[in-house]
Amino acid sequence: MQILHGIRYNLRGFMMGLRSGKLLFWGFLRFALVLVVTILTAGLILVHHQDIMAALWARPESAWVLWLWHLIAWLVTLVLVALSVLFSYLLSQILFSVFVMDVMSRTTERMVTGRVEEVEQMPFFTLFVFLIKQEIPRAIAPVGVSLLIMLLGWFTPLGPVLVPLSSAAAIVFLAWDNTDLTPARRARPFRERWGLLKRTLPFHLGFGVPFLVPGLNLLFLAFAPVGATLYYLERTGGAAAG
């Protein structure tokens, strides 16, 4: 079953990352980058939540209304914190993690095959720009699709169905963000890579299931490039399946 196949590859990559010194270093670096950016942005929101609320609605004098003001203030703060976490992920993903993910993917490929297959060697700056251009649609697509489905769930009677669908779409795209690293580095056409995603949706859904585990999801995300690279290499005959 492809869903179980996806879970298996994610766990294989996670365990391989923990056993390799290089992969362990880069995986925890990625984890730390996402965590630090998230804490900084969420901390700014929490420190200034009173000022933000005051700008939206001046604190009322009436004690009868004050409780409602406090309730709405914290609801607004929670929404802003959630948005800051989302923004932090996108920012760290595009500016920092994309490079770390590529290094982890290259390291995995070299460990498995003894070399890294790519179209041509690029100077560092050219490579960095190339990686960012590849990452922007992969990072924005899951957010855009998930938010669209979530909004449809809020404003239509299909909410109970669409909310789980939003989570499923998010983890599929997060999985694809990792499985697309190797073919993108080999300059495979976007249409071909997108077609591969559409043909392997159950696998990507399974690969993304560990991202739903509270507390461990950031760790699974940090080491996901390893399992994703193993999957692509073995799927294309670049390594012996195992």
What confidence tens digit (pLDDT) does each residue in 81-102 have?
Answer: 766 666 666 666 666 667 888 8
| List of residues 6+ apart from 222 with CB closer than 8 A | 17, 27, 28, 30, 31, 34
Report pLDDT for 59: 72
Counting every residue written for the chain, the total comes to 242
Residue 191 has pLDDT above 70, yes or no: yes
| C-alpha dist (Å) from residue 118 to 89, 122, 127, 188 | 27, 10, 12, 10
Please tell me the least confidently modeled range out of 26-40, 51-65, 199-213. 51-65
Q: How many CA atoms lie within 13 A of 235 on its CB side?
A: 18
Report pLDDT for 242: 41
Torsion, Cα of 212, 216, 220, 223 (10° steps)? 160
DSSP state letters, 212-231: GSTTTHHHHHHHHHHHHHHH
- Check if the beta carbon of residue 229 is closer than 8 Å to that of residue 183: no
SS3 label, residue 238: coil
Give the other-Cβ count within 10 Å of 38's Cβ: 20
- Best mean pLDDT range from 9-23, 115-129, 146-160, 174-188: 9-23
Report pLDDT for 189: 78
Report pLDDT for 51: 74
Confidence of residue 240 (pLDDT cuts 50, 70, 90): very low
SS3 label, residue 61: coil
Alpha-carbon span 150 to 165, nearest angstrom: 9
Alpha-carbon span 119 to 25, nearest angstrom: 27
- Check if the beta carbon of residue 134 is closer than 8 Å to that of residue 190: no
- Check if the beta carbon of residue 135 is closer than 8 Å to that of residue 178: no
Does the predicted TM-score (pTM) go above 0.75? no
Please tell me the least confidently modeled range out of 24-33, 55-64, 109-118. 55-64
- Average pLDDT of span 100-106: 89
Alpha-carbon span 238 to 240, nearest angstrom: 7
What does pLDDT average to over the chain?
Answer: 79
Confidence of residue 34 (pLDDT cuts 50, 70, 90): confident
- Average pLDDT of span 98-117: 89
What confidence tens digit (pLDDT) does each residue in 207-237 have?
Answer: 999 988 877 887 898 899 999 999 999 988 7
